[in-house]
A and B are shown apart, each in its own frame.
Chain A
């Protein structure tokens, strides 16, 4: 059984590549807690399967759910749908998940207020700090009319973070409210690889969904480790959905509410306070976010990078000082064609920079899009500069770190050498006297020889100058 499946695997993977929309693969492992019902989220599973993913369902304690086998990843993506699980099998322990993430496993964590302390401890690895387990996000000002205050309705324009690439599509930004029922809240730390995606509104707060009298509130506050004078966690600091993209472009997503993925909110129409009936944006938001986590959107790569001197086309190992160098870079963005296959297309940005570095950047210049260049796939960028006066080993370094796009890094080495003894300018204007002097000398010599051979012995009457020899 095993050897034949090993033989089939490469063929199967080739076949699946043709239908896959993700840039990295389409095998998804879903670890679902026994207390959560799979059918409650059927729309979500269906949307994943429609996008070409193969879902495998396991429970947290299943011992045969292996992430890495024989040194290779068995699955390309993971959905950890088990916030309240207290124990995991050794193959799904936090340590093995981290190990798999280093190897390239994109993960989507779906969390809820039932998050166990161990899980919170593990999530601190990602620089995330979660609130108390008994508390959820409450917003009495923004919730659907027939739901409680803990079913928070978030407006896409004010609660979604802007400028994060393709994590949220324009249709979600202009779509209906995103319902966030009984969800937990976390704060993101200073880690630069973290990306905040969805945050609470300014009027929300964190508390319990039951009425407390003043005495109970006092008792609660005194039991709480924090003082009563702490500022309230809301607005941009109260993150509900966030993501982390590691330096190797492995993506990890954190969604704070299991309820927001449920079928009941997927495409439901909700009544707002002003009586209007509007469709929720949950389906759009979860689809966009999972597309980003599973490397379908926001994936860019460097197709080609080359450099050459003015007048040449091939890259050189040695450039001389003050050479006019052109650096050319081609970038492509991953997208899904209409018939469901992976393709790479244009990627247009205006803030990418080239650094010509020897220990420190000597030159940092903008790479501008070159529309006249003909490239097979992607967009071409060019930068033109003069090689510095310093000689040494330089690198053409292009680094593009932006939240929401995969990180691009490219580095090519070239030396800058001083002019050789025969590369200095010849025939300079001020040296004409010397050139004329040299020519004049040889002309004088030739003239003298010519004169000498054309002179005859004249003095026949000269007396006594006959030499005897």
Chain B
């Protein structure tokens, strides 16, 4: 019964004020007190709308920030119980926190930030805030958004920022919603190779015995009896050359199954021409009186 009477009275007040022109919420006797355990940096500021605090407040460990004021209707001067009394801690990096300001029925309000027993919501942030006091009473009065200035919490009490939805690395079993770091493959080192110089030196060394051969041949050639070979032996030499050429071409580009039939064929021909050539040579040798 009493409550409904009070409500009626409030409605009447609202109606009266809306008819007469809306009042606006304001603060009276606003005070900010910073106290610390070691007494250094203690300060008290009086707040007067609309000026904010003169300098940013940096809290150290064990210090307390206390904001107290009285909520009034600026047109009539009477104290008001506001529907919304919040202190907005705005973080330029995006993790804002809004805390309620406790207001008594006579309009007196206060909020305390104690670094020794901080509100858990303030800890999971970056620690430095722009403060704004929000006071409103639905449509009965003009609301008030009063920027108060800057407040910083000591970094030692801060906790790590919680993970945002699409941050990397993704949680177990979930996909990545951002491009991830690029991965490159480091290849094994190429095996060491031998250069041209050593190769040429090796070739020269390989060809060195030829000089010996040619030298010795030169020495004995006067005592040799050269005679033109028979036609059949030319053919035989040609076939032998062809065999060598076949082996060379196989080494370059053929496969074994290409080689073998050709090799067999050429060997048969080589055998036949060889027999013919050697028979003729033997005949010639016998005619000349040499060994059979």
A444 to B244, CA, bound (A): 11
For residue A202, CB closer than 8 A to chain B, the reply is yes
Q: Given that A442-B244, A446-B237 are contacting pairs, would A388 and B185 also be in contact in the complex, using a CB cutoff of 8 Å?
A: yes
Task: Indicate which residue in B83, B179, B281 contacts A353 across the interface (CB closer than 8 Å).
Answer: B179
Please indicate the chain A residues that have their CB under 8 angstroms from the CB of B183 in the complex.
355, 361-365
A455 with B6, Cβ < 8 A, contacts A207-B84, A214-B104, A215-B105 known: no
B179 and A351 form a contact (CB under 8 A) = yes
A353, A364, A399, A432: the one within 8 Å of B203 (CB):
A432
Judge if B161 is at the interface, Cβ distance under 8 Å.
no
- Check if A467 sits within 8 Å of B291, measured CB to CB: yes
Map CB proximity to A onto B116-148 as digits: 1 under 8 Å, 0 otherwise.
000101000000000010101111100101000
User: Cβ of A449 < 8 Å from any Cβ of B?
Assistant: yes
A220 to B96, alpha carbons, bound, how many Å?
26
**Is B40 an interface residue, CB under 8 A from the partner?**
no
A236 at the interface (CB under 8 A from B): yes
In angstroms, Cα B236 to Cα A203, docked, is: 108
Expressed in whole angstroms, the Cα–Cα distance for A191 and B14 within the complex equals: 45
B165 contacts A by Cβ under 8 Å: yes
**A389 B165 Cβ-Cβ under 8 A:** no
Complex CA distance for A203 and B188, rounded to whole angstroms: 60
| Residue of A192, A366, A459 touching B175 (CB-CB under 8 A) | A192
When C-beta atoms are compared, the residue in chain B nearest to A209 turns out to be B138
A211 touches B140 (CB 8 A): yes
A residues within 8 A CB of B96?
202, 235-236
Taken residue by residue from 1 to 41, chain B's Cβ proximity to chain A (1 for < 8 Å, 0 otherwise) reads as 00100110011001000000000000000000000000000
Question: In A351-397, which residues have CB < 8 Å from any B CB?
Answer: 351-353, 355, 361-366, 386, 388-389
Q: Is the CB of B180 within 8 A of A138?
A: no
Q: Which residues of A contact B98 (CB under 8 A)?
A: 202, 205, 231-232, 234-235
On chain B, the number of residues with a Cβ less than 8 Å from chain A's Cβ atoms is 91
Given contacts A363-B184, A389-B188, contact A203 B193 (CB under 8 A): no
Which residues of B are found within 8 Å of A211, using beta-carbon distances? 7, 10-11, 14, 83, 137-138, 140
Residues of B bordering A, CB below 8 Å = 3, 6-7, 10-11, 14, 81, 83-84, 86, 88, 90, 94, 96-100, 102-105, 119, 121, 132, 134, 136-140, 143, 145, 163, 165-166, 170-171, 174-185, 187-188, 193-196, 198-200, 202-203, 205-207, 210, 213, 224-230, 233, 236-237, 240-241, 244, 247-248, 251, 277, 281, 284-285, 288-292
* Complex interface: chain B residues within 8 A of A188 (CB): 165
Closest B residue to A430 using CB positions: B194
| B277: chain A residues within 8 A (beta carbon) | 453
Q: Give the complex CA separation of A407 and B137 in angstroms.
A: 46
CB distance from A184 to the nearest CB of B (A): 18
Contact in complex: A457, B102 (CB < 8 Å): no
Task: Give the contact stretch, choosing among A77-85, A167-175, A297-305, A433-441.
Answer: A433-441
Contacts of A214 in B (CB 8 A): 81, 103-105
A37 to chain B, nearest CB (A): 27
A407 to B180 Cα, complex, angstroms? 16
Q: Could you tell me if B170 and A442 are in contact, using CB atoms closer than 8 angstroms? A: no
Q: Is the CB of A228 within 8 A of B226?
A: no
A residues in contact (CB < 8 Å) with B: 138, 140-141, 148-149, 188, 190-192, 194, 202-203, 205, 207, 209-217, 228-232, 234-236, 322, 351-353, 355, 361-366, 386, 388-389, 399, 401-403, 407, 428-433, 436-440, 442, 444-446, 449-450, 453-460, 465-467, 469
State A207–B88 Cα separation when bound (angstroms). 17
- Shortest Cβ distance from B134 into chain A, in angstroms? 6
CA distance A467 to B205 in the complex (A): 43
Asked whether, in the complex, the Cβ of B3 is within 8 Å of the Cβ of A192, the reply is: no
Given A213-B10, A466-B291, decide whether A231 and B184 contact each other with a Cβ distance below 8 A.
no
Do B185 and A363 have beta carbons less than 8 Å apart? yes
Taking a contact as CB atoms under 8 Å apart, the answer to whether B244 and A213 are in contact is no
Closest Cβ of chain B to A274, distance in Å, is 14
- CB within 8 A of B224: which of A191, A231, A458? A458
- Interface pairs A-B: 4 shortest CB-CB: A430-B194, A457-B290, A433-B202, A458-B225
A256 to B23, CA, bound (A): 32
Check if A212 sits within 8 Å of B86, measured CB to CB.
no
B residues less than 8 Å from A454 (CB atoms): 226-229
Inter-chain contact A467/B198, CB cutoff 8 Å: no
Q: Which of A212, A236, A364, A467 contacts B292 (CB 8 A)?
A: A467
Q: What is the CB-to-nearest-CB distance from A28 to chain B, in angstroms, rounded to a whole number?
A: 30
Whether B227 pairs with A456 at a CB distance below 8 angstroms is yes
Whether the pair B138, A192 counts as a contact (CB closer than 8 A) is: no
CB <8 Å contact, A148 and B138: yes
Q: Report yes or no: A149 in contact with B138, Cβ–Cβ below 8 A.
A: yes
The answer to whether residues A430 and B86 also contact, given A364-B180, A386-B187 and a CB cut-off of 8 A, is: no
